[in-house]
Amino acid sequence: MRFKIPAQRGNATTNAASSTTGATIPERPEDETLTPPLLVTYGLQHILAMYAGVITPPLIVGAAVGLTTAELGILVSAALLVSGLATLLQTIGVWRFGAQLPVVIGISFVPVGTMTTIAQDSGLPVVFGAAIASGVFGLAVAPFFASLVRFFPPVVTGSVITVIGISLIPVAAGWIVNEAEDGVPAPGDMGLAAATLLIVLVLARVLPGVWNRMAILGGLVLGTLVAASLGRIDFGEVAEGPVFSFGQPLYFGAPEFQFAAIITMCIVMMVILTEGVADILAVGEIVGTPVNARRLADGLRADASASLFGPLLNSFPASTFSQNVGLIALTRVKSRYVVATGGLILIVLGLFPILGRVVATIPMPVLGGAGLVLFGSVAAAGIRTLGKVNFDSNLNLVIVAVSIGFGVIPIAAPEFYDNFPNWLATVLHSGIVGAAIVALLLNLVFNVLVRGSRTAAGTGKPSPDPAHHDPANPGQDQARPASAPSGGAPAADSPPRPAPDGTTDHD
């Protein structure tokens, strides 16, 4: 019988460091507690990193159906409120809802095209009805998606995390371009982005200790001040609109349920859940905490739940946000309570639109300059995970190569899948989903299903003692007996080392 015991965490150095930052290091790194000022500061840093991503989908859909400025404000406030509530559910956890990981949930980009088409043809009530139905569907299939976790060894998760980072780089570039029609950033926008990037790099290099982790926040603040000194910010817009707004549930009418729209949104929900699997596993890998099938299912339920209650508050389906994965990797702040504090900030922004308008004054090129560091950190985390994979044989190399190739196709050629059936194009237009599917299938074919010829971790050597070999995880270096012949195994006089998920295996 196999079970896992959490590896010993913390040492004299980390404990001493925690005493200076007000942090308490528990057995699970995500349960680390910080002082209130640090919680607010780090939480705000998360929100600034993802704010633009949260408000963009409602602005796109609302503009497509011709909503007024006031009605767009209702959609934006609802998006912030729902994102905050869903983030709290994901980080704190209620019963079987929430992975209790530092995962941010925000309004998803995945269904924007589908929702725009439905809204233009049938109206927003039909969009909301289809979203609610897809949420129910998501809750039903979450355990199935979670059961796939044992087929996500480092060769799969590393490939997917790398693609997540690569797929986010165009977002940062788009922020720098700042909607220029020819796609070429103006010299002023390029200068702001470069100045922000330089500020982040300098702060990351010179700030001591815990302050080093605030380099992104410092870059955003100082970059905005530079923009203000150059007259690039119009603070007059901050005073326009209400100071407080609780919103009005079902403002656009009661949800309407149309079969075709529901089927389409359920397909979209499968894409959202697939991305959710990748993001949650990525966070678990970066934090250094095990994510089993039950915990993954709890996280996916939190994602799907946002599609259930969101439309009642005039919002759209939500999903885990890849943008924040890079911030965790960069700052090494792993506490879920930091992200929970960020969720509270989102709720306040949703209830006080004037605060949201203040945050919205941050120029897009400033966000782009910081985004290059953030999103590049996600790709770097994926490469670090791939460092645990044994590449002595070509098999794992092929898995990584092909999955990254499929992940980059929608980035390099956005119209590549346009002639495919609509349901398939919806799935494959997400490079993250394409990479996850390909990596998962190739790992099954090369390392799991072909049992007669399968070798240990694709090295061309016989498998070790079955008691120490997980057939679903052949791509990782697991703890082996001292006599294990594989490269990188502990020597005869070396103590057993923890597995990559931060646990020690016992039989």
In sequence order, what DSSP letters do the residues of 237-273 get, joined into one string?
A: GGGSS-S-----TTTT-S----HHHHHHHHHHHHHHH
In angstroms, what CA-CA distances link 51 with 342, 362, 453? 11, 10, 49
- Predicted confidence at residue 357, as pLDDT, reads 81
Identify the residue with better confidence: 198 or 68.
198
Confidence bin at 44 (pLDDT 50/70/90): very high
- Predicted confidence at residue 333, as pLDDT, reads 92
With 0-12 / 13-18 / 19 or more C-beta atoms within 10 angstroms meaning exposed / middle / buried, residue 202 is middle
With 0-12 / 13-18 / 19 or more C-beta atoms within 10 angstroms meaning exposed / middle / buried, residue 253 is exposed
Model's pTM, two decimal places? 0.75
- Predicted confidence at residue 409, as pLDDT, reads 95
Stretch 211-225: mean pLDDT: 89
> Is there a domain that residue 400 lies in?
no
> Is there a domain that residue 195 lies in?
yes
Per 3-state DSSP, what percentage of the chain is helix, strand, and coil (rounded to 5)?
A: 65, 5, 30
Query: Within 10 A of 487 (CB to CB), how many other CB atoms are there?
Result: 11
How distant is the alpha carbon of residue 416 from its chain centre?
25
Identify the residue with better confidence: 190 or 468.
190
Confidence bin at 94 (pLDDT 50/70/90): very high
- Predicted confidence at residue 269, as pLDDT, reads 93
Residue 67 and residue 80 in contact, taking contact as beta carbons nearer than 8 Å: no
Which secondary-structure segment (H or E) carries 69?
helix 69-92
Query: Is it the case that residue 159 has pLDDT exceeding 70?
Result: yes
Query: Is it the case that residue 456 has pLDDT exceeding 70?
Result: no
- Predicted confidence at residue 500, as pLDDT, reads 38
With 0-12 / 13-18 / 19 or more C-beta atoms within 10 angstroms meaning exposed / middle / buried, residue 34 is buried
Query: Is it the case that residue 320 has pLDDT exceeding 70?
Result: yes
Looking at the structure of the chain, the number of domains it has is: 1
Amino acid at position 483, single letter: S
Tokens coding 331 = 């700052």
Query: Is it the case that residue 190 has pLDDT exceeding 60?
Result: yes
Query: Is it the case that residue 23 has pLDDT exceeding 90?
Result: no
- Predicted confidence at residue 49, as pLDDT, reads 84
Query: Within 10 A of 181 (CB to CB), how many other CB atoms are there?
Result: 6
Identify the residue with better confidence: 50 or 313.
313
Q: How much of the chain exceeds pLDDT 70, in percent? A: 84
- Predicted confidence at residue 351, as pLDDT, reads 92
> Is there a domain that residue 303 lies in?
yes
DSSP, collapsed to helix, strand or coil, labels residue 108 as coil
Identify the residue with better confidence: 297 or 74.
297
- Predicted confidence at residue 24, as pLDDT, reads 60
Query: Within 10 A of 376 (CB to CB), how many other CB atoms are there?
Result: 18
d(CA 436, CA 49): 25
Residue 214 and residue 207 in contact, taking contact as beta carbons nearer than 8 Å: yes
Residue 142 and residue 297 in contact, taking contact as beta carbons nearer than 8 Å: yes
DSSP, collapsed to helix, strand or coil, labels residue 425 as helix
Q: What is the pLDDT of the chain when averaged over all its residues?
A: 82
> Is there a domain that residue 338 lies in?
yes
- Beta carbons within 8 Å of 412's beta carbon, 6+ residues apart: none
Query: Is it the case that residue 214 has pLDDT exceeding 60?
Result: yes
In angstroms, what CA-CA distances link 269 with 136, 145, 441, 504? 10, 12, 20, 35
Confidence bin at 71 (pLDDT 50/70/90): confident
Nearest of 15, 5, 14, 9 to residue 27 by alpha carbon: 9
> Is there a domain that residue 138 lies in?
yes
- Predicted confidence at residue 22, as pLDDT, reads 54
Stretch 305-317: mean pLDDT: 94
Residue 385 and residue 158 in contact, taking contact as beta carbons nearer than 8 Å: yes
Tens digits of residue pLDDT in 249-265: 999 999 999 998 999 89
> Is there a domain that residue 230 lies in?
yes
Stretch 345-360: mean pLDDT: 88
Q: Please list the alpha-helical segments (H only) found in 310-363.
A: 323-331, 336-351, 353-359
> Is there a domain that residue 358 lies in?
yes
Q: Which residues constitute the domain of residue 277?
A: 29-387
Query: Is it the case that residue 3 has pLDDT exceeding 80?
Result: no
d(CA 297, CA 407): 24
Residue 441 and residue 406 in contact, taking contact as beta carbons nearer than 8 Å: no
- Predicted confidence at residue 101, as pLDDT, reads 96
Winning range, highest mean pLDDT, from 57-66, 119-128, 419-428, 457-466: 119-128
Confidence bin at 331 (pLDDT 50/70/90): confident
Residue 334 and residue 288 in contact, taking contact as beta carbons nearer than 8 Å: yes
- Predicted confidence at residue 129, as pLDDT, reads 97
**Worst-scoring range by mean pLDDT, 109-113, 137-141, 199-203?**
109-113
Tokens coding 268 = 């979209």
> Is there a domain that residue 94 lies in?
yes
d(CA 433, CA 449): 22
- Predicted confidence at residue 466, as pLDDT, reads 38
Q: How much of the chain exceeds pLDDT 90, in percent? A: 50
Residue 463 and residue 473 in contact, taking contact as beta carbons nearer than 8 Å: no
Tokens coding 124 = 């927003």
Query: Is it the case that residue 52 has pLDDT exceeding 90?
Result: no
d(CA 108, CA 274): 13
